[in-house]
Amino acid sequence: MEEPLIFELSQPGRRAVTFPPLDVPTPPWSQMITSTLQRHQPPALPSVSEIDVVRHFTRLSQRNFSIDTHFYPLGSCTMKYNPKVSKMLISRTNYRTLHPWQPPVTCQGMLWVFAHMEELLADICGMDAFTLQPVAGAHGELTGILLAHAYHRARGRSPHKVLIPDSAHGTNPASAALGGFSVVSIPSDRRGRIDVEALKQVLDEDTALVMLTNPNTLGLFEDRVQEIAELTHRAGALLYMDGANLNALVGLTRPGDLGFDILHVNLHKTFATPHGGGGPGAGPVGVKRAIEPFLPVPRLKTQGDQLVWSEDYPQSIGKVRAFHGNALTILRAYIYLRALGREGLRTVSQRAILNANYLRVRLKPFYHLPYDEPCLHECIFSAVKQKAQGVKALDIAKRLLDLGFHPPTIYFPLIVEEALMIEPVETESKQVLDAFVNAMIAIAKEAETHPERLREAPTTTPVRRLDEVKAAREPNLRYRPPVPQQSQRANPESRNMKVL
Ligand SMILES: Cc1ncc(COP(=O)(O)O)c(C=O)c1O
């Protein structure tokens, strides 16, 4: 059944709460609010009872696909379960009520968490220093780009180019362009890795940065990374790692040891903090010693036995975010790290890789595997076999919704035709993976016998197929209330709300 908008549930005069008439004198300061600043009509809010509100939002919430209710194999997104214990801990402790302008002496606990988090991330990634300010992967990328700018400027250089493989996430070229660089796209080779020969052709003294994703978005390890690091450094450029796929590496190898100079990590992916719907995310950036002077301010330093904020870094690129990033998200990731420990984190990566390879092997007889070799945390199929039957990756994704699974990422990476990018993550059991495999096999068979069913899917969801392009290009997010009737204007309770 279609769920009406809450505005459509509105009945004149209905209220969740009613206040008694004001029985104290109007405060003197209210006289200072001139008539032009006063509200003369009641706000155009829905008039609903408390139970209307509770039922409406509960019904909507039950229509969601969420990580807490369904398997969510979104490739490149690492949609992993967020342990409830870390949420409980952050919501039940004093950390929630801290204010970023509190004197440091009153919030040493939080500052200690920040400082230790920077150390832990540096240790995991093999970097020398971290900033926790950026609040998304893309924001981390832009911070990294600005750091590269500052690094070259300090050496009296102003190279213009950033080299990025064609398998990269769209945010990589966008961040480089936003940072004022021109982007050169490097093709991938037949093995799905950056084509090192093509890279050599354009890598010169005008190159500021080479941006690699490792493992790349095909789920494959860039196995010539050390050679690429050498070539990059010889040209005077820096090597950046998009660490969005770090879930495959933690405890197994360290980007810093592979030769990367700058990287961002997505706490909202690898370190199990909320993701989707805008976060609040966190994209800390790690650097090698030579780039540390340029990190955003303020930075933490020790003064006596206290941690304090310092702005005294004259070469810093400045702030990239108000205050200190998404503090509670950082705390949540910190709890995750401490709960798992070194061994636990390694096991996470190993299981994520094992799960992806299990899906790869089980689905290979049914879907085309463009890069047929063991993968890391995600495996990329192509729906070209099904396309021959008139069924596209989009149809497969929509049919999965009918069968109770969130679809994988589709049509990305761009270099794979009809891409289906599946990242199961470590938290899923063999039973869940088997159920997903069975659904994917059923769909592959349906593509042969009843392709029209796939083209019509989804049929069991609250809404059928939406025009996603129109929704993205012409979002209609604002409720425009009908002009209020005369009788509603005269509502005595509404009149009570007139002043302030
Ligand atoms: C490989 C890769 N890089 C960068 C990003 C951007 O991260 P964010 O969405 O946190 O901005 C993503 C996001 O999915 C990604 O998959």
DSSP for 405-456, written as a single string: ----EES-STTSTTEEEE---TT--HHHHHHHHHHHHHHHHHHHH-HHHHHH
Report whether pLDDT(495) > 90. Answer: no
CA angle 23, 29, 31 (to 5 degrees): 85
pLDDT digits (tens, 9 = 90+) for 33-68: 888 888 888 888 899 999 999 999 999 988 888 888
CA 202 to centroid of ligand 1, rounded, Å: 26
Report whether pLDDT(493) > 50. Answer: no
Domain definitions of the chain by residue range: 1-63+465-500, 84-339, 347-464
pLDDT digits (tens, 9 = 90+) for 370-421: 999 999 999 999 999 999 999 999 999 999 999 999 999 999 999 999 999 9
Query: Whose C-alpha lies nearest to ligand 1, atom 8?
Result: 137
Name the one residue in this structure whose structure tokens are 């009296």.
156
Cα 77 to Cα 169: distance, rounded to the nearest angstrom:
11
Query: Whose C-alpha lies nearest to ligand 1, atom 5?
Result: 137
Q: What percent of the chain is helix, strand and coil (3-state, nearest 5)? A: 40, 10, 45
Summarize the confidence of residues 314-340 as an average pLDDT: 96
CA 496 to centroid of ligand 1, rounded, Å: 49
Measure Cα distances from 278 to 73, 137, 177, 321 in Å.
Answer: 18, 12, 22, 16
Tokens of residue 2, six digits:
């279609």
Q: Of all atoms in ligand 1, which is nearest to the CA of residue 266? A: 10
Cα 322 to Cα 320: distance, rounded to the nearest angstrom:
7
Pocket of ligand 1 (CB under 6 A): 76-77, 136-138, 169, 171, 213, 217, 242, 244-245, 266, 281, 283
Cα 108 to Cα 487: distance, rounded to the nearest angstrom:
57
Using a 10 angstrom Cβ sphere, with 0-12 exposed, 13-18 middle and 19 or more buried, the burial of residue 6 is middle
Give the residue, out of 72, 74, 76, 245, with the most ligand 1 atoms within 8 A of its beta carbon, to mutate for a pocket test. Answer: 76
Summarize the confidence of residues 207-214 as an average pLDDT: 98
DSSP letter, residue 499? -
DSSP letter, residue 9? T
Grade residue 28 by pLDDT with cuts at 50, 70 and 90. confident
Give the residue, out of 266, 275, 326, 378, with the most ligand 1 atoms within 8 A of its beta carbon, to mutate for a pocket test. Answer: 266
pLDDT digits (tens, 9 = 90+) for 140-178: 999 999 999 999 999 999 999 999 999 999 999 999 999
Q: Is 194 helix (H, G, I), strand (E, B) or coil?
A: strand
pLDDT in the model for residue 490: 42
pLDDT digits (tens, 9 = 90+) for 228-271: 999 999 999 999 999 999 999 999 999 999 999 999 999 999 99
Give the residue, out of 171, 262, 425, with the most ligand 1 atoms within 8 A of its beta carbon, to mutate for a pocket test. Answer: 171
Name the one residue in this structure whose structure tokens are 């796929």.
245
Cα 327 to Cα 469: distance, rounded to the nearest angstrom:
34
pTM of the model: 0.90
pLDDT digits (tens, 9 = 90+) for 359-373: 999 999 999 999 999
Measure Cα distances from 28 to 20, 37, 128 in Å.
Answer: 21, 16, 58
CA 358 to centroid of ligand 1, rounded, Å: 24
Q: Write down the mean pLDDT value for the chain.
A: 93
At the second CATH level, the architecture of 84-339 is 3-Layer(aba) Sandwich (3.40)
Grade residue 494 by pLDDT with cuts at 50, 70 and 90. very low
pLDDT in the model for residue 33: 87
**Which residues contact residue 425 at a Cβ distance below 8 angstroms, ignoring those fewer than 6 apart?**
73, 78, 79, 80, 81, 247, 352, 355, 377
Grade residue 499 by pLDDT with cuts at 50, 70 and 90. very low
Q: Of all atoms in ligand 1, which is nearest to the CA of residue 139? A: 11
CB atoms within 10 A of CB 473: 8
Cα 77 to Cα 93: distance, rounded to the nearest angstrom:
30
Using a 10 angstrom Cβ sphere, with 0-12 exposed, 13-18 middle and 19 or more buried, the burial of residue 190 is exposed
Q: Is 346 helix (H, G, I), strand (E, B) or coil?
A: helix
Amino acid at 71: F
pLDDT digits (tens, 9 = 90+) for 91-122: 888 898 999 999 999 999 999 999 999 999 99
Q: Hey, which CATH number is domain 347-464, 3.40.190.10, 3.40.50.720, 3.90.1150.10, 3.50.40.10?
A: 3.90.1150.10
Question: How many percent of the chain have pLDDT more than 70?
Answer: 95
Cα 467 to Cα 458: distance, rounded to the nearest angstrom:
13
